[in-house]
């Protein structure tokens, strides 16, 4: 009888252990990486890469996938139903089209950081281009396509409000996003380009020769918000909150962005 009882108890213990292991396995399965897709302006790429590395130290089970590009193109993708969890735009007008369509709630969005517009030339340039007015000495000037690239829109505004646009319009080489403008200048395919300060700071192949006066263009504001129909709202909210943390804001500042919150 004692042997039977002992055997019965052993079976119970083994069953308990197996059940516990099974539950733990199910729990671990639930903690497998949740993937978030973030559509973000190209100018945010370097800052967000570092921010994501820091975020994953705290939340290793949340994988962040980025779709970087021009804010206008990203907005159109989201409006057409692209599966996105957060939208981080370089322009308020593109962002609020998504809000107006009911895809982002106003209480789950924030104007997070700001930027500046600068004139750049190749690091080894020997042309006399030290101000926007000196673009008369350039043969080719690159800016982002104003209709879809916010930096291009701000560049056009700057030249227009400085009474320079009509003089240089024929010299403009349009780019699909601000990073392409940077590449054109780095490779010497154009004599000068107009980009965000943050883009210029990451390249050793260009130099900033002038910063646009803030009254020559609209305010440069980067809003971010959670897409309402995200399949991973809880995780999206965690990342959204982290972007507003002191640690994340310090990283944005490191890459040349100014905090707005």
Q: Give the number of other CB atoms < 10 A from CB of residue 23.
A: 10
Cα(98)–Cα(79) distance, integer angstroms? 6
The alpha carbon dihedral of 118, 214, 99, 239 has a sign of: positive
Task: Please provide the size of the chain in residues.
Answer: 261
The reply to whether 154 sits in an annotated binding site is: no
The reply to whether 185 sits in an annotated binding site is: no
Query: Does residue 88 contact residue 115 with C-beta atoms inside 8 Å?
Result: no
Angle at 101 between CA 96 and CA 106, to 5 degrees: 55
The reply to whether 43 sits in an annotated binding site is: yes
* Structure token pair of residue 12: 């119970």
The reply to whether 151 sits in an annotated binding site is: yes
Nearest to 153 by CA among 215, 75, 217: 217
The reply to whether 203 sits in an annotated binding site is: no
Annotated binding site: 43, 71, 151, 178, 196
Annotated binding site for molybdate: 43, 71, 151, 178, 196
């Amino acid at each position: 009888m004692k042997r039977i009882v002992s055997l019965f108890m052993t079976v119970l213990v083994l069953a308990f252990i197996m059940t516990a292991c099974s539950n733990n396995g199910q729990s671990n399965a639930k903690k497998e990486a949740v993937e978030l897709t973030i559509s973000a302006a190209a100018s945010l790429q370097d800052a967000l890469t570092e921010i994501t590395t820091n975020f994953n130290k705290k939340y290793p089970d949340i994988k962040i996938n980025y779709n970087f590009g021009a804010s206008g193109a990203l907005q159109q993708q989201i409006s057409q139903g692209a599966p996105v969890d957060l939208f981080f735009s370089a322009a308020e007008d593109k962002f609020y089209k998504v809000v107006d369509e009911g895809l982002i709630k106003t209480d789950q969005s924030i104007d997070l950081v700001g930027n500046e517009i600068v004139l750049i030339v190749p690091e080894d340039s020997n042309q006399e281009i030290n101000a926007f007015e000196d673009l008369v000495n350039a043969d080719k000037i690159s800016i982002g396509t104003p209709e879809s690239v916010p930096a291009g829109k701000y560049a056009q505004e700057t030249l227009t409000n400085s009474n320079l646009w009509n003089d240089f319009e024929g010299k403009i080489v349009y780019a699909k996003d601000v990073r392409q403008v940077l590449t054109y200048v780095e490779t010497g395919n154009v004599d000068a380009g107009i980009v965000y300060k943050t883009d210029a700071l990451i390249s050793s192949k260009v130099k900033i020769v002038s910063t646009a006066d803030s009254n020559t263009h609209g305010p440069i504001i980067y809003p971010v918000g959670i897409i309402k129909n995200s399949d991973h709202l809880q995780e999206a909210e965690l990342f959204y909150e982290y972007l507003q943390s002191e640690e994340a804001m310090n990283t944005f500042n490191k890459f040349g962005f100014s905090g707005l919150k």
